[in-house]
Amino acid sequence: MLQTAVHYGCHFLIPLFVALIWYKSQWKIAFLIMISGMLIDLDHLLATPIFDPNRCSINFHLLHSYYAMIVYVLLLIPKKTRLIGLGLVIHIFSDVVDCSFM
């Protein structure tokens, strides 16, 4: 239960705090863009079984691979893609925290 709360807390609360602190005037749109990073979890649909509570997503699913993570970090550099990159990096960080509980 604690693992799930921490995992989803990281997925949603970290982007909210980032949006409220660094994007005050446009925090709602910043939060929504960062939360859209959750879409990379669609790669779970390609796995069998789709959900396995004992499986670490990192480097198992295509969009959670080390190669994808390099792209996510590179998205942080241009200002136009920074919020997308932040959302994706925060998502991966949340999954790393989840894997540390295993």
**Domain boundaries, position 83:** 2-100
Q: What is the pLDDT along the chain (102 residues), one digit of tens a residue?
A: 777 788 888 899 999 999 999 999 999 999 999 999 999 999 999 999 998 888 999 999 999 999 999 999 999 999 999 999 999 999 999 999 989 887
The count of domains in the chain is 1
Alpha-carbon span 37 to 40, nearest angstrom: 6
Q: Are 64 and 38 in contact (CB under 8 A)?
A: no
State residue 21's pLDDT score. 97
Q: Are 26 and 82 in contact (CB under 8 A)?
A: no
Taking CA atoms, 66 is separated from 19, 28, 60, in Å, by 26, 30, 10
State residue 54's pLDDT score. 87
